Amino acid sequence: MLMQFLDEHCLLENQKARDSNGENIHIFAYDFLYLPMDFKSKMNKGYAFVNFTDERTVWNFFEVFDKLNVFPGSTWAVKIVTAKIQGKEALVNHFKNTRFVCESEEFLPVQFSPPRDGSGESVQMITVGEYKVTPSCSDILKKP
């Protein structure tokens, strides 16, 4: 769902950018995503790592996301902060030797080549790090 949300945001903003200057530019894109999961609750941990490819995308996302009511009727607040680790290369280096306790690769951080811009064009998704299945992890994921 997060990837779909980011793709839709990038597509919309790239269409606006193209409409305003007539050029087909794709400055709104991201090349790294990690959504940590809590396997006991089967929910995400409430934060994500996203690396946007252009500084303008970051500020635009801050501005747009801040105005959204992401969880209508909820007491949950959404806050965007800059991470201590900046850039795709630094994020990949940080997570590449990590062993994640999870059931499959679908829970690992991913990098994209080329970056995802919402256009729907083919993008290679490369996982970062390794996963290690444990009996407790499998049991937690399979319980209703």
Q: For the chain, what are the domain ranges?
A: 2-142
Report the candidate in 70, 67, 58, 72 with the shortest Cα–Cα distance to residue 29. Answer: 58
Instruction: Characterise 142 by phi-psi region: left (phi > 0), alpha (psi -120 to 50), beta (else).
Output: alpha
Handedness of CA 132, 3, 49, 97 (dihedral sign): positive
**Predicted local confidence at residue 44, as pLDDT:** 83
CA–CA distance, 111 with 138 (Å, rounded to integer): 25
Angle at 38 between CA 135 and CA 5, to 5 degrees: 130
**Predicted local confidence at residue 88, as pLDDT:** 96
Q: Which residue has the higher pLDDT, 111 or 60?
A: 111
pTM of the predicted model over 0.85: no
**Predicted local confidence at residue 116, as pLDDT:** 95
pLDDT higher than 70, residue 26: no
Beta strands at 49-52 and 99-101: parallel, antiparallel or unpaired = unpaired
Q: Which residue has the higher pLDDT, 129 or 74?
A: 129
Model confidence pLDDT, tens digit, residues 65-106: 766 666 666 666 667 788 889 999 999 999 999 988 877 888
